[in-house]
A and B are shown apart, each in its own frame.
Chain A
Amino acid sequence: MDRNERIGENTVNREDLIVKICGSAGDGSISATEILNRAVASMGYHIMNFDSFPAEIRGFGKSCGHTRISKNPVRTPGDKADCLVALDDGHSISELKNLKSNGIIIYDSLPPSYRDEDTAVAGYIEPGMIGYGVPLRELSTEATRSAKSRNLVSLGVIATLFNFDPDAFVRAISKRFSGKKESVRTAVLEAFRLGQIFTSEKISKRDAIDFERKAYPREGEYIIISGNESAAQGCLDAGIRLYAGYPITPATKIMEILAKKLPIQEGVVVQTEDEISAVGHVLGAGFSGTRSATATSGPGLCLMSECINLGVMAEIPMVIIDCQRGGPSTGLPTKTEQSDLRIALYGASGDSPRPVIAPTTVAECHSLAMAAFEISDAYQTPVILLLDFFLSNRIEDIVPDPEGSARWGRFPDSIAKPGESPYKRYRITPSGVSPRSMPGTPELLFTATGLEHTENGRPNYDAANHKTMTDKRYAKLDALRNAWSLPEPIGDAGELDVGVISWGSSAGSAIEAMEILRERGFRVGGWIPRLLMPLHEDALEAFAARCRCLVVTEMNHSGQFADVIERVVHRPILRIAKVYSEPMPSDDIVRIVLGELS
């Protein structure tokens, strides 16, 4: 009733709910969130799950599942939660700042003894918030003889309180515990049921969130995966044979997945002694014609820049996935940031062109990872795929696209044929792509070097040759730009009050902000390129020309993408460049844009 009347952070659309389940490690908040995701996704809802980790290593201290459930595709995890389930009071208190001012707190009403002042989360319920006390521990013990099923009791509360179809939860729980004994399955379902019963009998609902047990049909299959899982699957589907890497948050998960799955495809995962070695492995594999990849984060990318440069110079296919995190240096391993753009685009000695691709969703992590390999092979170049902590770790329901790479055919002239004489590994072509041979192929022998070289690969320091070869390497970017489909502007056609440009993981926030601005009566459009190097400058200029106010949103301090845009459009830009460490709040974009427009 009141909820929809409010504006700003308290806006609650119907069938859009953000739930946080917060506890200590071992309380099962993450697994409860996973079950919640599966249950609501099976009803046709879209989800985005982005758990928050402690700054330290996962597995100790606080663990908090954060999921957004919506009838419409979810673009951001949302800023503040509608509902906080407190499996641990202490940790939940520190999470209260992420709860809406009219949020709901579900807390344990019957702990074994009184808590000291200000250590009970229920004591922090501010006017306007709603608290529901549930004897989580008692009900858990009753059902499973253990306090460890409080998370499942709380799912029973959520399902009943917000009126979801309980059968979907029962199926999700049964599936989750399918490997366990019958008695365990019965007990955990009982925990869920006791939560349901308590809620329907003892809680008088005071909030207005009601999903009315609705379900929506979905087209085709869907899976629930994270960005890292999606990217790893992209590597597998692209047919890599080698993954070499050195663990670093938030990229490690990719290696973990590949370590399990790559051997099945007769591939190899090598954990190297450092990032230089890792990228060296990838370079070597690429040189010898084997698809391979590495994934790292900012600090690793710095170390890899030397070998990437060699790949550019020697025109060796290789794919580097950079899962960005807060920097510089070791920075903030568990916080999200988009501040590696500049090193990805330009981080090299000399003129070092390399394609840079930034997926914006979990689904794109898969399709663009596959594209990265195709591009890398087709244009014989290192390719950098830019993820970040948020994109790597967020979980979405996606429709898998095994055909993701179909449109990327190899250039016909890219493979050398025996008999071509003399064989010129770096022959000048209109596309800049030269015929490639596998090292050691008789009649197609060549020299590959980091020194500037001639068409046949021999070192050469002649000024004219250097110009020709530099042009050749840059020509490949032009060819790629032409081959890549144009980034279509989204939103309104024609003249725009606001044009929003964004990239990577924060694109969702930009799109959500656009939707809010449109509801406020503005004409709004957006331009979100996935291919950041080379940029479609003509398309950008055309879009910019339609906009009264041009906004670039990104999660870094210096406006790294805005610099790129500005160089093309030559006009003032409203830069929304901030290091939030958390996913960008769309409300913030709206607020800043409204301030600019007024």
Chain B
Amino acid sequence: MMHEHYVIVGNGVTANAAADVLRERDPNARITMISDEFHLFYHRFRLPAFLLGEASESSLCVRPVSYYRERNIRLRLGQEVVRVELDRNLLYLKHMEKVGYTRLLLALGGKPHIPEVHYTYRHRFSTFKTLDDARLLRSRLGSIRSIVIAGGDLVSMRFATSLAKTGRNVMMMLASEAFWPLDLTETIREECIRSLTAKGVDVIDSDRIVGIDSADEQNFEVRTAAGLILPCQYVGAFFGWRPQVDFLVRSGLDIDRGILVDEHLRTNFDSVFAAGDCAQVYNPGIRNYWVSIGWPNAERLGRVAGENMAGGALEAGQAPQSALEVEGIQACTSWWREHGSE
């Protein structure tokens, strides 16, 4: 008998939750997880603590290799999917290997987004999403005195206040588009500013970056529309994440900003599912498409995707209240903290 081969692209919370469920439901199936990061599944919300030396690298790791070995889950780390042929159930990896599947879960997560208006100087922005980003910044931290944070997405709040605590000069330029899929309402904006200022962050409101100059790629000068020139050693792009769906373009998969899925997290291909930060689902409550964010959500959706891949028919349901409570600043600034204190 042919066993199922479940392939999960991604190694974050959604991917791991789905793998757990699939192993419970189908002890004989092959399960493969593919991720372009080299690191084992780690706690992203601890990266700011790691950055400041408050957490060790090993404490970031959620699961050891043995966890996967015991469950006979094959981990392909540092391996990148560059192309898919969904009507032939094939993935193409960067190192020139084809991998087949019977059911596929795309749990890709997102990559930091830099708005196109900053295209000309986009390479001068640094991003802070992965362990590698954190390692790099940690190694440079000693020589950084001033930091400009552009955007102001959910991740940046903790990042900014953490760095401000260390006595560094942290300047934050709020940009409304950074908050997608949330809307930056006046209430949130004011609450953000109040809260950040209280924690020592210098918030620059109602201005925008029009250029970043650098003589040596170590020291930067950020130019703003209002004519400010902000010298700094680090310009962080915190405009939110966008799903990493480049390799899916022209695959036939329905993609808008994220991968379009139905209430069962199934894409327009029967054997392909998507969940987590990369999946976009219509939410009647807000009359809009929604990408679910936050660790608890992602974990729940991973389990739903796993159940449905194994033949279930669970509904993803609406995003839970905590993530939808966008009017309360709490939800917006506490996403990481919320889980970290669990």
Contacts and interface: CB of A to CB of B under 8 A. Distances in A.
Given A123-B93, A127-B40, A127-B65, A117 B98 contact: yes
A126 B75 contact: yes
Interface in A112-143: 113-120, 122-123, 125-128, 131, 133
Centre residue among A111, A116, A126, A131 by max chain B CB count within 10 A = A126
A109 B95 CA distance: 5
B75 A120 contact: no
Interface in B62-112: 65, 75-79, 92-100
B38 interface: yes
A109 B96 contact: yes
A131 B95 contact: yes
Centre residue among B65, B92, B98 by max chain A CB count within 10 A = B98
Given A115-B97, A125-B78, A206 B92 contact: no
A170 B76 CA distance: 37
B97 A107 contact: no
Interface residues of A, number: 21
Contacts of A115: 96-98
A122 B98 contact: no
A123 B65 contact: no
A542 interface: no
A114 B75 contact: no
A114 B98 contact: yes
Contact of A131 (B75, B78, B99, B100): B78
B40 A119 contact: no
A420 B99 CA distance: 88
B100 A117 contact: yes
Contacts, number: 55
B100 A110 contact: no
Contacts of A117: 97-100
Interface size class of chain B, counting residues whose CB lies under 8 Å from the partner chain: 10 to 19
Nearest to B101: A117
A122 B77 contact: no
Interface string A392-422: 0000000000000000000000000000000
A127 B75 contact: yes
A88 B99 CA distance: 19
Nearest to B92: A114
B77 A125 contact: yes
B34 to A, nearest CB: 10
B38 A206 contact: yes
B6 to A, nearest CB: 14
Interface string A93-117: 0000000000000010111011111
Contacts of B93: 120, 122-123
Contacts of A122: 79, 93, 95-97
Contacts of A206: 38
Interface string A264-297: 0000000000000000000000000000000000
Nearest to A118: B97
Contacts of A127: 38, 40, 65, 75, 77
B97 A119 contact: yes
Nearest to B41: A127
A119 B98 CA distance: 9
Contacts of A133: 94-95
B43 to A, nearest CB: 17
Contacts of A119: 97
A128 B76 CA distance: 11
B100 to A, nearest CB: 6
Interface in B191-215: none
A116 B88 CA distance: 14
B86 to A, nearest CB: 16
A115 B96 CA distance: 6
Interface string A426-467: 000000000000000000000000000000000000000000
A126 B94 CA distance: 16
B200 to A, nearest CB: 34
A210 B302 CA distance: 42
A116 B92 CA distance: 10
A109 B97 CA distance: 10
Centre residue among A107, A113, A127 by max chain B CB count within 10 A = A127
Nearest to B65: A127
A128 B93 CA distance: 19
A6 to B, nearest CB: 13
Centre residue among A110, A116, A118, A120 by max chain B CB count within 10 A = A120
A299 B95 CA distance: 47
B40 A120 contact: no
Contact of B65 (A110, A113, A128): A128
B75 A123 contact: no
A107 B93 CA distance: 14
Contacts of A116: 97-98
Contact of B95 (A113, A120, A126, A128): A120
A126 B40 CA distance: 11
Contacts of B75: 126-127
A107 B65 CA distance: 23
A118 B78 CA distance: 16
Contacts of B92: 114
A107 B95 contact: yes
Contacts of A110: 96
Nearest to B57: A2
A122 B94 CA distance: 10
Interface in B5-22: none
A391 to B, nearest CB: 37
A111 B94 CA distance: 11
A113 B77 CA distance: 22
Contacts of B38: 127, 206
Interface in A75-94: none
A123 B76 contact: yes
A123 B95 contact: yes
B63 to A, nearest CB: 10
A202 B78 CA distance: 16
Contacts of A123: 76, 79, 93, 95, 97, 99
B68 to A, nearest CB: 8
A116 B93 CA distance: 11
Contacts of B65: 126-128
B151 to A, nearest CB: 27
24 contacts: A109-B95, A109-B96, A111-B96, A113-B96, A114-B92, A115-B96, A115-B98, A116-B97, A117-B100, A120-B97, A122-B95, A123-B76, A123-B79, A123-B99, A125-B77, A125-B79, A126-B65, A126-B75, A126-B77, A127-B38, A127-B40, A127-B65, A127-B75, A133-B94
Interface of B: 38, 40, 65, 75-79, 92-100
Across the A-B interface, the 6 shortest Cβ-Cβ residue pairs: A122-B95, A120-B97, A123-B97, A127-B77, A114-B98, A127-B65
Interface of A: 107, 109-111, 113-120, 122-123, 125-128, 131, 133, 206
Given A115-B97, A127-B75, 4 more contacts: A107-B95, A114-B96, A117-B98, A126-B65
